[in-house]
A and B are shown apart, each in its own frame.
Chain A
Amino acid sequence: KAGVTQTPRYLIKTRGQQVTLSCSPISGHRSVSWYQQTPGQGLQFLFEYFSETQRNKGNFPGRFSGRQFSNSRSEMNVSTLELGDSALYLCASSLTDRLATNEKLFFGSGTQLSVL
């Protein structure tokens, strides 16, 4: 069974540009969540989607947005890039949207975004 696939693996952009990152969850998984990982702030939750609906959102500005398609694939978009947006963006999928403490998240290898 293929794991979570994120594309592209690396991305270099300049300030002010926008970027779109893609995530394909494990087959059959319907929940996709996104995390930002930086050396300074660590891993922070961005948002979660289930059945094309955003279920939760982290404490990030409106420049960060996302969506989910009917096949559960998800994209996240960052507009008007800032230097501080340089980070590893990780996508995770899970089978359901149950609020169960034991539901595992399966992560992809991430997209490393560098903003110059």
Chain B
Amino acid sequence: DAGITQSPRHKVTETGTPVTLRCHQTENHRYMYWYRQDPGHGLRLIHYSYGVKDTDKGEVSDGYSVSRSKTEDFLLTLESATSSQTSVYFCAIMVSGGYEQYFGPGTRLTVT
């Protein structure tokens, strides 16, 4: 257990509304990641962070933004949710020097 929580765990929202998902960690890891998981696609990286205020895009970043104002929190925002963003979203931390990632429990987001 790497002390990672995600909130909310489930959310239903309407097309066009902004949505923010939160990832919280308790162990001061520098690197944090947001993925989405869709059938047939595995996990795809949306954005990642390598420190407070330091973020970069992953392979599926369009329509998403992130912020990291504190080491322990990494926020993912869907600026204007679309049905194609219906997915399960996982947050992860990377263990420094080890490179393995540990994942939060996931957030199931449905955009209607």
Do A and B belong to a common assembly?
A: no
